[in-house]
Amino acid sequence: MALLSDAGVELLLRWLHFLAGITWIGLLYYFNFVQGPFFAEADGATKSAATQKLVPRALWWFRWGAMFTFLSGAAIITKRVLQAPPGTSVMTSPWGEAIFTGALFGTLMFLNVWLVIWPKQQVVIASAVAAAGGGQANPAAAAAGRRAFLASRTNVVFSVPMLFFMGAATHLPPSQVTHPNSYWVGLLVVAGLVELNALTATSGLTTKPIEKISGVITTGFVVWAIVYGLVRFWLVG
């Protein structure tokens, strides 16, 4: 096993991708399935202490896990694209259709972490620190926390199809690619609508399905089923 060979380099990148991804997604599920329900039941003092001391530590590993997952994944795909034989397109290959589908969801999740969840959580943490020190809580903290919550819930939804299509790229790629342009239009519409809800909605019919743990898990599988249906209809139909 020569780690400095071409295959060895890709193995090392995949290893880093797995390690970082497990850290990232593990903490995503921790925030949504463990910490969130705990905060809903905790008293004010306990919640304040956890927000000041526990949450920042968990968010550090969370956001940097996301960063290294994204960078290592991008490196693997770039390597495959650069090494493709002349005249061939990785994007329209069965492997490419599956891996770029997973990558689309993963990229949206990464952007949610760094551009929505982390900035909004900084507002929440700073407000808790100020209030604990005898100052005034930031009135914008509640809205910031709500937006971070919806973005985090959306990442749980995206994680279901993301993990499936990342695995399918190697183990169960589409048998053929017939209408990739139509497929990508449909995929971008589905992903865009779900992401738009995370960025703009506050409450109502579009947020109710992801408020509860059972609902967000079910929604993730519904989105997966829709995307899988697009694959069956546009790529291999």
Q: Is there a domain that residue 170 lies in?
A: yes
pLDDT score, position 80: 92
Q: Is there a domain that residue 224 lies in?
A: yes
pLDDT score, position 1: 66
Q: How many residues does the chain have?
A: 237
Q: Is there a domain that residue 98 lies in?
A: yes
**pTM of the full structure:** 0.96
Q: Is there a domain that residue 40 lies in?
A: yes
Cα separations (Å) of 113 from 10, 50, 98, 174, 223?
26, 20, 23, 30, 20
In 10 A of CB 80, how many CB atoms?
16
Q: Is there a domain that residue 141 lies in?
A: yes
The number of domains in the chain is 1
Q: Is there a domain that residue 1 lies in?
A: no
pLDDT score, position 84: 87
Q: Is there a domain that residue 219 lies in?
A: yes
- Residue pair 98/169 in contact (Cβ under 8 Å)? The answer is yes
In order along its 237 residues, the chain shows pLDDT tens digits of 677 788 899 999 999 999 999 999 999 999 999 999 999 999 999 999 999 999 999 999 999 999 999 999 999 999 999 998 888 888 889 999 999 999 999 999 999 999 999 999 999 999 999 999 999 999 999 999 999 999 999 999 999 999 999 999 999 999 889 999 999 999 999 999 999 999 999 999 999 999 999 999 999 999 999 999 999 999 885
Residue reference for tokens 């390690």: 19
Cα separations (Å) of 187 from 37, 102, 136, 190?
32, 11, 45, 5
pLDDT score, position 5: 85
In 10 A of CB 137, how many CB atoms?
16
Residue 52, both tokens: 């000041």
What residues make up the domain containing 160?
6-235
pLDDT score, position 237: 59
- Residue pair 83/143 in contact (Cβ under 8 Å)? The answer is no
Q: Is there a domain that residue 52 lies in?
A: yes
